[in-house]
């Protein structure tokens, strides 16, 4: 059994995989090229991928021995799921474990934007702090008592809700369906129309997967109806927010500020006009980047890789319909 790992992992997960399979690890600092990935994957029973690896129909169709694609992460929008299922390939992911650390980053960005922490820190580093105190300088906005709009009430959205409750925030949420266990709780209300949420929220935090329906979910129209004092947070996927629309919204003060942990493209291009804005904070896709979470993710992904390469059901499978096709009922 042979497997390919496209990024270095924690040693414990490498040891687990090496006990069951012959493995090759891409150790280079830069992501593996598409051509190399395709060439190496054709010889493998399983591959362990990250969001930076584009596993399209061409790569999948060329891998006649491939049984499993084990993704290090929850989202699998970089993988052609339909083609994988058609080719009898299981696709694993690592849900659950990323919810808390990602919500931490989202709420951290929210606090940072609200109180202009990074912006003021950069000002101090530029040696501009020449007045000890001024009652009208560096005014931000309160978080406690404000209204948070959560778009996408999955596991990460629910963790964001918990953090908002700790700050006595009112919460509006928009999701495909209402959540009966939330609808009777005080201070929480379901919006069946995203427009209402955008118009009424002081903060908007996006927690949806990237699908054709959520591509540019937040664009010109949505940003124009938000409050001029509103703050937008995106820790889901970069293309959920239209970067050109966001630039105009921030530059022309349609909204107060924004915090991103994801960009489109990713990494962000260094000549992007977004990097010129003082009312935008960007972190480099670190939502799940706690030691504890990444270790768990690596172990789950390693387990999925081993199980799938052996033709067994995965701990977490993103395309469970494939099981009936390969006789795993």
Residue among 83, 119, 196, 266 flagged as catalytic: 266
Q: List the beta bridge partners of residue 190.
A: 173
Residues 6+ apart with CB under 8 A from 170: 145, 146, 147, 148, 187, 188, 189
Q: Are residues 195 and 270 in the same domain?
A: yes
Residue among 116, 163, 237, 294 flagged as catalytic: 237
For residue 329, the model assigns a pLDDT of 78
Whole-number Cα distances in Å, 293 to 129, 233, 287, 288, 297: 38, 21, 10, 6, 6
CA dihedral of residues 211, 213, 218, 224 (deg, nearest 10): 170
| CB 166, CB 145: distance < 8 Å | no
Q: Are residues 275 and 299 in the same domain?
A: no
Instruction: Return the ∠ at Cα 289 (arms to 90 and 301), rounded to 5°.
Output: 20
For residue 119, the model assigns a pLDDT of 97
CA–CA gap between residue 318 and residue 304 (Å, rounded): 11
Q: Are residues 60 and 29 in the same domain?
A: yes
Q: Are residues 85 and 14 in the same domain?
A: yes
CA–CA gap between residue 257 and residue 221 (Å, rounded): 17
Number of domains in the chain: 2
For residue 286, the model assigns a pLDDT of 98
Per-position b or e across 23-34, b if 16+ CB within 10 A of its CB: bebbeeeeebee
Whole-number Cα distances in Å, 212 to 57, 92, 250: 17, 21, 25
Residues of the chain with pLDDT under 70: none
Residue among 116, 163, 207, 285 flagged as catalytic: 285
Predicted TM-score (pTM) of this structure: 0.94
Q: Are residues 261 and 306 in the same domain?
A: no
Q: Are residues 87 and 104 in the same domain?
A: no
CA–CA gap between residue 65 and residue 209 (Å, rounded): 29
Q: What residues make up the domain containing 127? A: 99-282
Q: Are residues 260 and 315 in the same domain?
A: no
CA gyration radius, the chain: 22
CA–CA gap between residue 177 and residue 195 (Å, rounded): 16
Alpha carbons within 13 A on the beta-carbon side of 161: 24
Q: Are residues 47 and 119 in the same domain?
A: no
Q: Are residues 24 and 149 in the same domain?
A: no
Q: Are residues 238 and 145 in the same domain?
A: yes
Active site residue 266: yes
Q: Report the CATH number at residue 60.
A: 3.40.50.720
Report the Cα–Cα distance between both ends of the chain, in Å, rounded.
23
For residue 132, the model assigns a pLDDT of 87
Active site residue 285: yes
Per-position b or e across 58-87, b if 16+ CB within 10 A of its CB: ebbeebeebbbbbbbbbbbbbbbbebbbeb
Q: Are residues 160 and 306 in the same domain?
A: no
Cα–Cα nearest to 287, from 304, 303, 266: 266
Give the tens place of pLDDT for each residue, 191-203: 999 999 999 999 9
Q: Are residues 244 and 208 in the same domain?
A: yes
């Amino acid at each position: 059994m042979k497997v390919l790992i496209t990024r270095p992992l924690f040693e414990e997960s490498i040891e687990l995989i090496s006990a069951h399979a012959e493995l090759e690890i891409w150790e280079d600092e830069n992501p593996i090229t598409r051509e190399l990935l395709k060439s190496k994957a054709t010889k493998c029973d399983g591959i362990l991928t990250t969001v930076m690896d584009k596993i399209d129909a061409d790569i999948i169709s060329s891998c006649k021995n491939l049984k499993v694609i084990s993704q290090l992460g929850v989202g699998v929008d970089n993988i052609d799921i339909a083609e994988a299922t058609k080719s009898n390939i299981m696709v694993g992911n690592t849900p659950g474990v990323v919810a808390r650390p990602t919500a931490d980053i989202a709420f951290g960005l929210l606090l940072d934007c609200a109180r202009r922490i990074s912006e003021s820190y950069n000002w101090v580093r530029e040696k501009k702090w020449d007045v000890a105190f001024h009652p009208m300088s560096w005014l931000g906005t309160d978080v406690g008592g404000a209204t948070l709009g959560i778009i996408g009430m999955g596991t990460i959205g629910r963790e964001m809700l918990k953090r908002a409750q700790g700050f006595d925030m009112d919460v509006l949420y928009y999701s495909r369906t209402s959540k009966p266990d939330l609808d009777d709780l005080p201070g929480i209300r379901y919006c069946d129309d995203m427009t209402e949420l955008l118009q009424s929220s002081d903060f908007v935090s996006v927690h949806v997967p990237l699908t054709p329906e959520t591509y540019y979910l937040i664009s010109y129209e949505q940003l124009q109806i938000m409050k001029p004092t509103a703050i937008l947070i995106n820790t889901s996927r970069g293309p959920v927010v239209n970067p050109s629309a966001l630039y105009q919204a921030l530059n022309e003060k349609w909204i107060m500020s924004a915090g991103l942990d994801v960009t489109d493209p990713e990494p962000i291009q260094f000549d992007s006009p977004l990097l010129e804005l003082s009312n935008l904070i960007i972190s480099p896709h670190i939502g799940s980047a706690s030691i504890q979470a990444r270790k768990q993710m690596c172990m789950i992904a390693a387990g999925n890789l081993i199980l799938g390469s052996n033709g067994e059901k995965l701990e977490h499978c993103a395309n469970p319909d494939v099981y009936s096709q390969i006789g795993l009922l």
